[in-house]
Structure 1
Amino acid sequence: MKKLGCLIAVILLAVAGAGWFASGWYGSADVEEDTTFIVPQGATLTAVARQLADEGLIGSSDAFLLRAKLLGSGDPIQAGEFMLPAHASPAQILETFQSGKVIRRFVTVPEGLPSILVYERLMAEDLLTGSIEVPEEGSVLPDTYDFERGESRAAVLARMQAAMDRYLAEAWKKRTDRSVVDSPEEALILASIVEKETAQADERPMVAGVMSNRVRIGMMLGADATTIYPITKGKPLGRRIRVSELRSKDPYNTRAVAGLPPGPITNPGRESIAAVLDPAETKALYYVADGSGGHVFAETLEEHNRNAAAWRKLRRERGEM
């Protein structure tokens, strides 16, 4: 009977010890609030455990490693920045590192953002590393892109440019016979002008229709943004365009030179690219602002002059002239 009692006591002690050992793995660690933690590239689990202990997120690196060996998965840990939730257990911490679900950050390139400002936006992002050159104009697809802390700017830019290559290739296949561009490169050029000429998405096919008509008959495109581009490389001019600049024979100046400029003047979005590949069916050759953010279109110069006079009258009434 005495031996049986001792055996039961040993079993109870073993169960209690196992319970204590397991609770140290599956119970809450010392993560008091949501905490970011960086696993360096090439770091071992031993090094990470010591870092966790040094930062007060676990009680003991040795205990963590022992429990990880006996109770955890054998999957390798991944490098990156991770979010450890408040009251996470050591088991959850290891699973987080093994999952590879790093914290994703985001950078947005709005439609019509010129490459010089894409460059400045990426260079200003402190969590990225390395340097880049100003990307080729029109090579970046406007969108929101994710990245992780410590990723290179070159890698993020490469994704932006690859996205443009993919979209342009797919969009090019859908062009209609109303499109006047002869190559994807010309599509980017014309789309960049459409992007700058109207901020209203529903107007882009119509503006593209007008621009396509002008290209078709050899008429100058007459877009102020193309005149400004060689002066500022896409940044705001900050003043009115000078008469000398309007008369300049710079190949980008579509107020003095017929045809498409030699390259894009910004990074056009999907809708502007789609618009030049499938422009509205219209006979309009002119447009002018209507005072509400959009434009009024005309087929003849006489009609356009009346519309322009109405726009000037409205501006005078608003005190803008």
Structure 2
Amino acid sequence: MKKILGYSLLILLVVALFFAWRVAGSATNFSESRKFLYIHTGAASEKAVMQTLQDSGFLKHPGMFNWLASKLKVWERLRPGKYEIEKGASILTLARKLRNGSQSPVNLVITKLRTRNDFAGLVGRKFESDSTAMLHFMQSNDSLKKFNLDTNTVMTAVFPNTYSLLWNSEPQKIFRKLNEQRTKFWTDERKQKAKQLGLTPEQVYVLASIVEEETLRNDEKPTVASVYLNRLNRGMNLGADPTIKFAVGDFSIKRVLFGHINSTASSPYNTYKNKGLPPGPICTPSETTIDAVLNAAKTDYLFFCAKPNGNGYHAFASNDIEHAKNAKAYQQWLDSLNIK
């Protein structure tokens, strides 16, 4: 009897150890350091998740996971989202992660973008919500009015930065996150500086987008900004080449020609034909560039063109004659390089 009892206890111990090994031991079935389980909105169910796990081959024993998940009431608490599965993770770890809704955040990294389509496309590649949904949101004045924006100024809320969000965040929630950064940036001091320039924060952003396209040199951005502010104050057309490229839809253009200007005459972004600022930004400028506009240099410059050396700096002029000389030198340099 004692031998039978001993054998029984041994068998129970072996079973318990085997069970513990299956539950708490490594259960993943992939070689990468991590993979992600995506649970889509409307598909947060036992059937859908188990089908994904079986089709993907994430786990060695998906049936064991299903049993444990049922015992831990995972399926009753399951929420859509993006969940990280690290190599060597146990089914217990994954079950707890799903039950607790412990999603992996998505980092939305925004650098320079030019259009609403660019931004919507970025969102579509990073989140469950597709680009069409974000574009629809950005093209709806009803959606934007709560942010004091419209379809022209909507991109002035998109500041280059890194934003942490959940994968299943809807367009409105994503935009609300962006607007938090916008609100944080526009301090009372910055708003006052904009007011002293006779501009709204949105107009400062628009002008900064032009300056951003004109020069990569941070140390000359305040001077470039001064040129455009001087033109605005004198009632002159801005005559900004980047706005023509934006109107054409081709930023690879090396030399803006009369053909480009004339073909976009009806565009509100043609600053050769229309006075004042364009209705919206032509790119997402850095905060450094926006501050360069707010702290523009005090100059009498009305013109500038690239210097004929390719170093990215510009020659500035306060009159037509001086500018014509600078422009001729640059054009001759382009011709020498056979740049059309």
What TM-score, normalized by structure 1, do the two folds share?
A: 0.74
User: Following superposition of structure 1 onto structure 2, how do residues 139-150 of structure 1 map, counting pairs within 5 Å?
Assistant: 139-140=154-155, 141-143=158-160
Q: Look up the match of 1:29.
A: 27
* One-letter amino acid of the structure 2 residue matched with residue 139 of structure 1: V
Q: Look up the match of 1:17.
A: 15
Q: 1:58 to 1:283 in 2, by over 3 A?
A: same
Moved more, 298-307 or 19-28: 298-307
Q: 1:46 to 1:128 in 2, by over 3 A?
A: closer
Root mean square deviation, CA, Å: 4.2
Q: Look up the match of 1:59.
A: 61
Work out whether 1:275 is the aligned partner of 2:292: yes
User: Following superposition of structure 1 onto structure 2, how do residues 200-215 of structure 1 map, counting pairs within 5 Å?
Assistant: 200-215=217-232
1:284 to 296, 301, 305: 301
Given that 1:179 and 1:212 are in contact with CA atoms closer than 8 Å, whether structure 2 keeps it comes out as no
Given that 1:288 and 1:295 are in contact with CA atoms closer than 8 Å, whether structure 2 keeps it comes out as yes
Q: 1:151 to 1:32 in 2, by over 3 A?
A: same
Q: What secondary structure sits across from 1:173 in the alignment?
A: helix
Segments of 5+ residues of structure 1 without an aligned counterpart are none
What TM-score, normalized by structure 2, do the two folds share?
A: 0.70
Q: What secondary structure sits across from 1:28 in the alignment?
A: coil
Alpha-carbon distance, 1:207 to partner: 0.9
Greater per-residue helix proportion: 2
Q: 1:214 to 1:246 in 2, by over 3 A?
A: farther
* One-letter amino acid of the structure 1 residue matched with residue 316 of structure 2: F
Given that 1:246 and 1:255 are in contact with CA atoms closer than 8 Å, whether structure 2 keeps it comes out as no
Alpha-carbon distance, 1:148 to partner: 6.3
Structure number with larger C-alpha Rg: 1
Q: Look up the match of 1:38.
A: 38
Work out whether 1:158 is the aligned partner of 2:175: yes
Partners in 2 of 1:81 and 1:87 — Cα distance? 18
Q: Look up the match of 1:188.
A: 205
* One-letter amino acid of the structure 1 residue matched with residue 330 of structure 2: W
Given that 1:138 and 1:267 are in contact with CA atoms closer than 8 Å, whether structure 2 keeps it comes out as no
Alpha-carbon distance, 1:210 to partner: 1.8
User: Following superposition of structure 1 onto structure 2, how do residues 165-180 of structure 1 map, counting pairs within 5 Å?
Assistant: 165-166=182-183, 169-170=186-187, 173=190, 175-176=192-193, 180=197
Q: 1:68 to 1:168 in 2, by over 3 A?
A: closer
Q: What secondary structure sits across from 2:37 in the alignment?
A: strand
Partners in 2 of 1:106 and 1:85 — Cα distance? 18
Alpha-carbon distance, 1:116 to partner: 4.3
Segments of 5+ residues of structure 2 without an aligned counterpart are 140-150
Partners in 1 of 2:87 and 2:261 — Cα distance? 64
